[in-house]
């Protein structure tokens, strides 16, 4: 290549420069490289030869950094490699779009073309804006949904209240379901309302009773007592049965009031058993009436209703107190004596062997043994066909008018047994039976009865047993 004069050619797209490199021997064995003479930076650069096969590398002449760099050959054949110059980034140039002139000859307002490139700050700002708008939309949707839910709940509440009111009106017009018996008359007493007042009788209008079937009234005294009374209520609730609880006033405390409330809720009756279980026979009239009144007040605080019947403690009372008290006293026709035995098996046997239709049964809910006996008594009575009712229901369905100043013992199908205010015992069932016997029996039969009752007849036994006694009389 030495001695040749290369020529430079130009074209429209690029410029090609040919540089003549003359090799000269130098002590270091280096060679001279000449840059483009037209460039102000053109100069001879002495480079150390890397190998005998060194090649020339030409940069783009338009760049100020363009220069020839000798690279190490990757192959025995040398070649020219043009590096791409590094061009610094330039800001986008806003170009004006020519706008035609208007009819008036004035040029229209030119609009600049917006740059489509976005910076990181703009992207961050747009992201924040999108997040805020999304959160705002979610909040609006949530608030709207909450308002809709509240409105729907309010409408449902109104509908439920209307349905309850309609049901209460419908039940107020209905009567208790009573199956007519072929030989008995229907009760003539007034129908109790579904919302009884404070002096209403304890009669459940929804309790299905068949007056042609036997019924008894279970009664429990001396409560309420947490534990044993609760167990009896559990049994009654399990078998859908009713009972009457004659409570002692001082036993009704803020803790035991809920027991009375549950009794009423289950359809049971709450009666008065005086305030301190004091005998009414040994008390003055004032003290006895005060005992009854204090118990009434305690019951009213618990259930907002007054007891309709009173059971005198120990079954003791006086005629004066009976006349002064305007409510009937409730006695019993079957006493299990559970307070004496304290034996659930004995209680069960006494009751089941002696129970009859229309009985008022006496037990006590303060004894665990009585609660244990009730767990067998209640289902077995139901299995034998008895209906378990309250005292008020027994009187109502047996068509017995609740009279003042009486002491009631039972209400059998053919009549009740009670004591009136004059102290006379009236057995309506026995009166009918006696009338039939007098009509059939002969008078001579009554003489025979007198003969058997003669004292001389009893002396014959002594005559046989003791000969000495007879000889002395002779």
| Rounded-to-integer distance, Cα 119 and Cα 125, Å | 10
Sign of the four-CA dihedral 21, 27, 29, 30: negative
The helix (H) or strand (E) run that includes residue 190 is none
What order of strands is seen across the sheet that includes strand 329-330? Answer: 329-330, 407-412, 415-419, 425-427
Predicted pLDDT of residue 124: 67
Domains of the chain are 16-81 (no CATH), 209-428 (3.20.20.370), 441-473 (no CATH)
**Do residues 85 and 59 make contact, with C-beta atoms less than 8 angstroms apart?**
yes
pLDDT in tens, 263-303: 999 999 999 999 999 999 989 999 999 999 999 999 999 99
Q: Give the C-alpha distances (Å, rounded to integers) separating 329 from 79, 168, 230, 355.
A: 134, 34, 26, 21
What tens digit of pLDDT does each residue of 78-125 get? 445 555 555 666 555 555 555 555 555 555 554 444 455 556 666 666
d(CA 108, CA 96): 12
> Quick one: CA dihedral 20, 21, 23, 26, positive or negative?
positive
The two tokens of residue 53 are 């096969």
Q: pLDDT value at position 128? A: 74
Please answer whether residues 273 and 246 qualify as being in contact, where contact means their C-beta atoms are separated by less than 8 angstroms: yes
pTM of this prediction? 0.53
Confidence of residue 135 (pLDDT cuts 50, 70, 90): confident
pLDDT (0 to 100) of residue 297 = 97
User: Which residue, among 359, 134, 375, has the nearest Cα to 235 in the 3D structure?
Assistant: 375
What values do phi and psi take at 242, rounded to 5? -115, 155
Alpha carbon 458 to its chain centroid, in Å, reads: 75
Continuous segment of H or E residues that includes residue 263: helix 257-265
Residues 6 or more apart in contact with residue 222 via CB below 8 angstroms: 246, 247, 248, 251, 273, 277, 364, 365, 366
Which pairing describes strands 407-412 and 329-330: parallel, antiparallel, or unpaired?
parallel
């Amino acid at each position: 290549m030495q001695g040749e004069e290369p020529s430079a050619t130009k074209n429209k797209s690029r410029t090609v420069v040919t540089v003549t490199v003359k090799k000269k021997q130098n002590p270091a064995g280096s060679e001279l490289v000449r840059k483009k003479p037209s460039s102000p930076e053109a100069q001879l650069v002495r480079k150390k030869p890397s190998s005998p096969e060194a090649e020339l590398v030409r940069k783009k002449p338009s760049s100020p950094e363009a220069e020839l760099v000798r690279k190490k050959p990757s192959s025995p054949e040398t070649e020219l490699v043009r590096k791409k110059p590094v061009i610094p980034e330039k800001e986008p140039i806003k170009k004006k779009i020519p706008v035609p002139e208007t009819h008036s000859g004035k040029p229209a307002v030119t609009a600049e073309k917006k740059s489509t490139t976005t910076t990181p700050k703009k992207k961050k700002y747009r992201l924040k804006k999108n997040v805020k708008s999304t959160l705002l939309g979610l909040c609006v949707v949530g608030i709207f949904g909450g308002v809709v839910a509240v409105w729907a709940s309010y409408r449902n509440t109104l509908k439920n209240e209307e349905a309850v009111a309609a049901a209460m009106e419908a039940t107020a017009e209905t009567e208790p379901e009573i199956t007519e018996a072929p030989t008995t008359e229907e009760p003539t007493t007034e129908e109790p309302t579904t919302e009884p007042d404070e002096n209403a009788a304890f009669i459940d209008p929804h309790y299905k009773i068949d007056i042609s079937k036997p019924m008894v009234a279970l009664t429990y005294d001396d409560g309420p007592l947490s534990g044993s009374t609760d167990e009896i209520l559990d049994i009654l609730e399990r078998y859908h049965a009713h009972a009457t609880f004659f409570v002692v006033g001082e036993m009704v405390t803020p803790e035991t009031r809920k027991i009375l409330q549950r009794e009423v809720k289950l359809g049971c009756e709450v009666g008065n058993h005086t305030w301190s279980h004091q005998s009414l026979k040994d008390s003055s009239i004032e003290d006895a009436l005060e005992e009854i009144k204090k118990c009434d007040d305690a019951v009213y605080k618990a259930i907002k209703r007054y007891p309709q019947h009173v059971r005198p403690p120990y079954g003791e009372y006086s005629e004066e107190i009976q006349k002064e008290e305007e409510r009937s006293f409730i006695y019993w026709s079957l006493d299990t004596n559970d307070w004496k035995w304290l034996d659930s098996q004995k209680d069960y046997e006494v009751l089941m062997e002696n129970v009859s239709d229309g009985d008022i049964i006496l037990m006590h809910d303060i004894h665990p043994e009585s609660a244990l006996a009730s767990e067998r008594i209640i289902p077995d009575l139901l299995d034998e066909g008895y209906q378990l009712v309250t005292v008020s229901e027994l009187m109502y369905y047996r068509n017995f008018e609740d009279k003042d100043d009486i002491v009631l013992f039972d209400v059998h199908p053919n009549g009740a047994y009670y004591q009136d205010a004059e102290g006379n015992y009236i057995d309506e069932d026995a009166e009918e039976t006696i009338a039939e016997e007098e009509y059939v029996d002969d008078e001579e039969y009554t003489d025979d009865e007198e003969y058997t009752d003669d004292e001389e007849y009893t002396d014959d036994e002594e005559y046989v047993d003791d000969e000495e006694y007879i000889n002395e009389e002779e």
